[in-house]
């Protein structure tokens, strides 16, 4: 597998020189300065590519080419945004970039309620506390009808959280929820978040799923022609938030989107932590089932808490998912491709998120994207890969010996 590292461009506190020392060889990045929905020109793509190559690295995965909100809810700028997306895929393919990660989460992408939740070892992790999320939705955002989306137990826990939180805790929660994705220009205040939710007020999951299918039917042919493989990222966490439908949350959702455009170019990012954030997803089974359409792997792990809705980012080889079995399934698929596909490339993996450890505690980094914590995770993942690869080699030798 190809070992890659998420880098947010020239303003990232973790430099390309830092990345070189992690022994990652591939960079996962995007042109964050280009507004969503506009074309990424060949000039801009090559400029970023040259910057990365000058540091002795390779731009291996584009994460992400953002999908404009008008595509997700069917707004007036939808057709232009889809055409621009297809053109961007063509430009990326012509530059030799073959893997594009994206998501179809309306308005809010990955959501957490705590950026630095202290671990027993003194480090820090990100956490999603469902009671805090509900308290924000109902009592701080004051979304109309929000209380109808929660059980009586959830409402009571949200009320308790809000009652015991002081102004500082409420402000910290709001900042965490509204911060937006690292490296992007998209963040919210309460009013802009409320405004962003409005177009989805009358849309259910069926409608949003239909918009995703229509988008795929239009852009997958462009991806196929350009030699680009699309890898959709699952919902994070995989449950409705703020009344918004989430349509890439489980195996049925994945099967539906793959069926909507049944070409190899229409594929999946296996984000172990995202799918693993609800108890009903069997991440190993999903990896095995969809292996031939997995084009990128986000390898991180979470531990679910007692309510089954809250979780924290655990160590990459800890948490609820069997990371050894996941990597084994990916390596088996990678070997199949090398045997059967003339243009096969290694499956890129990256250590997604990471604990704040040691020097991270004094270094400025984006939430979830600490240097030392990810370095630790990458080392653990590489160790698993080496061990599993040796086991697969031994199994193959035994099979050949019996034949």
Find the catalytic residue in 68, 133, 295, 298: 298
Beta bridge partners of 350: 298
Spatial contact of 239 and 130, defined as CB atoms under 8 Å apart: no
Where are the alpha helices (H) located in 106-151, listed in sequence order? 130-135
Beta bridge partners of 348: 2
Beta bridge partners of 351: 299
- DSSP one-letter code for 24: -
DSSP string, 291-349: GGGEEEEEE-EEEE-TTSS-EEEE-TTSSSS-HHHHHHHHHHHHHHHHHH-TT--PPEE
CA dihedral 271, 13, 377, 394 (to 10 degrees): 80
Where are the alpha helices (H) located in 117-197, listed in sequence order? 130-135, 152-164, 167-178, 190-197
Helix (H) or strand (E) holding 63: strand 58-63
32 is catalytic: no
The pairing of strands 2-6 and 26-29 is parallel
| Calpha distance 182→344 (Å, rounded) | 31
Helix (H) or strand (E) holding 77: none
Find the catalytic residue in 233, 295, 316, 355: 233
Find the catalytic residue in 85, 102, 124, 369: 369
Find the catalytic residue in 137, 271, 295, 316: 271
Spatial contact of 141 and 133, defined as CB atoms under 8 Å apart: no
114 is catalytic: no
Find the catalytic residue in 68, 70, 353, 355: 353
353 is catalytic: yes
369 is catalytic: yes
| Calpha distance 36→32 (Å, rounded) | 9
Find the catalytic residue in 124, 352, 355, 360: 352
Catalytic site positions? 233, 271, 298, 352-353, 369
């Amino acid at each position: 597998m190809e070992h890659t590292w998420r880098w947010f461009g020239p303003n990232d506190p973790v430099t390309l020189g830092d990345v070189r020392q992690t022994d990652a060889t591939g960079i996962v990045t995007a042109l964050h300065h280009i507004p969503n929905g506009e074309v990424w020109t060949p000039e801009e793509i090559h400029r970023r590519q040259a910057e990365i190559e000058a540091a002795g690295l390779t731009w291996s995965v584009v994460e992400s080419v953002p999908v404009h909100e008008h595509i997700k809810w069917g707004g007036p700028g939808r057709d232009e945004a889809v055409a621009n997306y297809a053109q961007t895929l063509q430009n990326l393919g012509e530059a030799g970039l073959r893997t594009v990660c994206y998501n179809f989460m309306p308005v809010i992408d990955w959501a957490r309620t705590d950026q630095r939740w202290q671990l027993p070892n003194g480090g820090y992790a990100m956490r999603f506390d469902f009671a805090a999320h509900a308290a924000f939705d109902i009592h701080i955002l004051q979304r109309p009808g929000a209380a109808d989306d929660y059980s009586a137990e959830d409402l009571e826990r949200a009320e308790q959280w809000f009652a015991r939180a002081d102004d500082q805790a409420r402000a910290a929660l709001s900042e965490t929820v509204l911060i937006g994705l690292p490296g992007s220009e998209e963040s919210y205040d309460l009013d802009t978040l409320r405004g962003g939710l409005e177009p989805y007020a009358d849309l259910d999951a069926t409608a949003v799923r239909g918009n995703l299918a229509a988008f795929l039917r239009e852009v997958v042919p462009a991806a196929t022609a350009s030699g680009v493989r699309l890898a959709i990222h699952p919902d994070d966490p995989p449950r409705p938030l703020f009344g918004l439908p989430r349509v890439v949350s489980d195996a049925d959702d994945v099967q539906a989107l793959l069926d909507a455009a049944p070409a190899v170019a229409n594929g999946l990012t296996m984000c172990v932590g995202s799918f693993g954030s609800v108890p009903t997803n069997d991440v190993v089974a999903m990896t095995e089932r969809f292996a031939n359409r997995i084009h990128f792997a986000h390898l991180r792990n979470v531990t679910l808490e007692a309510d089954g809705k809250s979780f924290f980012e655990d160590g990459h080889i800890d948490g609820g998912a069997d990371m050894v079995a996941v990597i084994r399934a990916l390596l088996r698929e990678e070997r199949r491709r090398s045997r059967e596909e003339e243009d096969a490339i290694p499956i890129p993996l990256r250590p997604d998120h990471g604990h704040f450890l040691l020097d991270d505690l004094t270094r400025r980094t984006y939430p979830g994207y600490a240097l030392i914590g990810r370095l630790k995770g990458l080392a653990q993942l590489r160790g698993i890969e080496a061990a599993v690869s040796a086991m697969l080699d031994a199994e193959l030798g035994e099979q050949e010996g019996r034949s």
